[in-house]
């Protein structure tokens, strides 16, 4: 048996247990139409994309202003460390472009070709961001090495120091805002972008070291700091690439699986829980689960139990919007795990009931 339904309910209320709660939810489902499944998904996608777009545009404005200030001082001072910081700030601002495209695509409803919708566009945006970070770090490293081989005097050190502080403040504000929004809407790409901005903020402070060394007559301090900034950016590149890779490989937090299994075991009539699978599709989760029920249940009764199980899953797991529950049966005295181990015991496909609007 399989059930597949998207519920528009909020996830922030406690688990529902007890007879009264079950009755209340059954009544709620009687008066809540399920024919708007696709519309519910579109509305949720639009809400998250609007919030994501607002974050991106505001971040772009802040980082754009920061980059402009630093670029002017780079021209005046000739600081290669500040140049590296400016490059990365500009890169961080420009990553709003692929993310913006991804959020716009994510608003589109699923169709017969893209049956899971367009949420994966955010993962593709994450790849673009990783490649952009890699390219910008290579450019900064080249400039730093060139300055070591061809030294030049850094001037207007007070302005360089001021630009470093401006860069830190702008990046840290953007980082916190992006990470907070990314976690709220479940966007790995936005979180990766926030981590990049945070490291750019700390590397902005490193520019102060180069300015201090130059003030003491150590002109090589400026390009050395530029190389250190590049190394720090490479660390962020590693973390961002790992996050995007995990999302592309359908990785989820194991704690989410534990939560799902616990929720299924608490459903009356479920005698065992088999494999639970989850995957991210953009900012939302989808799940599949196997449960064991009594063999004497009718198809209608087993279907109702599967619906109750998927409802429990959706309410227990944050950002889970759809779940498919497969039922296996056991005879009296059978081991529930043994029932799950034999797929020929599963209810034949011809007699499965699929939840429909």
Model confidence pLDDT, tens digit, residues 287-308: 999 999 998 999 999 999 999 9
Whether residue 166 contacts residue 89, with contact meaning beta carbons closer than 8 Å, is answered with no
* Cα–Cα distance for residue pair 140/83, rounded to 1 Å: 7
Whether residue 257 contacts residue 276, with contact meaning beta carbons closer than 8 Å, is answered with yes
Q: How far are the Cα atoms of 152, 250, 295 from residue 124, in angstroms, in the given order?
A: 41, 14, 45
* Cα–Cα distance for residue pair 340/344, rounded to 1 Å: 9
276 vs 94 pLDDT, higher one = 276
Flag whether pLDDT at 275 surpasses 60: yes
Helix, coil or strand: residue 336: helix
User: Which of 36-40, 183-187, 199-203, 320-324 is modeled with the greatest confidence?
Assistant: 320-324
In the block, residue with structure tokens 């790849």: 127
**pLDDT bracket for residue 14 (50, 70, 90):** very low
In the block, residue with structure tokens 């600081």: 79
Whether residue 286 contacts residue 310, with contact meaning beta carbons closer than 8 Å, is answered with no
**pLDDT bracket for residue 316 (50, 70, 90):** very high
> Residue 321 corresponds to which tokens in the numbers above?
């919007």
The pTM of the full predicted model, rounded to 2 decimals, is: 0.62
> Residue 119 corresponds to which tokens in the numbers above?
């949420």
**pLDDT bracket for residue 326 (50, 70, 90):** very high
Q: Which whole number is the average pLDDT over 269-288?
A: 90
Q: Write down all domains in the chain, each with its CATH number in brackets.
A: 19-32+252-351 (3.30.70.1350), 39-248 (1.20.1510.10)
């Amino acid at each position: 048996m399989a059930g597949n339904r998207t519920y528009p309910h909020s996830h922030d209320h406690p688990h529902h247990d007890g007879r009264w709660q079950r009755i209340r939810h059954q009544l709620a489902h009687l008066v809540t139409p399920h024919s708007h499944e696709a519309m519910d998904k579109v509305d949720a996608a639009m809400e998250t994309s609007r919030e994501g777009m607002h974050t991106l545009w505001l971040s772009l404005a802040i980082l754009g202003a920061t980059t402009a200030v630093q670029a002017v001082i780079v021209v005046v001072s000739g600081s290669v460390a500040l140049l590296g910081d400016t490059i990365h700030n500009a890169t961080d601002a420009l990553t709003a472009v692929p993310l913006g495209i991804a959020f716009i695509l994510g608003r589109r409803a699923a169709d017969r070709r893209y049956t899971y919708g367009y949420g994966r566009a955010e993962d593709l945006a994450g790849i673009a961001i990783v490649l952009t970070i890699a390219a910008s770090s290579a450019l900064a490293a080249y400039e730093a090495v060139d300055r070591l081989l061809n030294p030049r005097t850094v001037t207007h050190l007070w302005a360089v120091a001021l630009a470093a502080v401006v860069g830190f403040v702008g990046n840290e504000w953007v980082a916190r805002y992006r990470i907070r929004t990314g976690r709220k809407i479940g966007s790995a790409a936005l979180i990766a972008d926030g981590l990049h901005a945070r490291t750019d903020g700390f590397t902005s402070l490193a520019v102060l070291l180069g300015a201090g060394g130059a003030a003491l007559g150590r002109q090589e301090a400026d390009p050395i700091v530029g190389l250190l900034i590049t190394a720090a950016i490479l660390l962020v590149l590693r973390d961002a690439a790992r996050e995007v890779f995990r999302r592309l490989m359908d990785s989820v937090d194991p704690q989410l699986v534990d939560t799902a299994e616990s929720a299924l075991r608490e459903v009356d009539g479920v005698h065992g829980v088999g494999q639970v699978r989850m995957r991210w599709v953009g900012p939302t989760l989808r799940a599949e689960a196997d449960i064991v029920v009594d063999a004497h249940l009718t198809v209608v009764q087993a279907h109702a139990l599967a619906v109750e199980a998927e409802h429990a899953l959706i309410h227990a797991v944050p950002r889970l919007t759809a779940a498919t529950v497969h039922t296996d049966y056991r005879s009296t005295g059978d081991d529930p795990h043994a029932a799950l181990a034999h797929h020929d015991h599963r209810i034949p496909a011809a007699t499965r009931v699929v939840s429909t609007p």
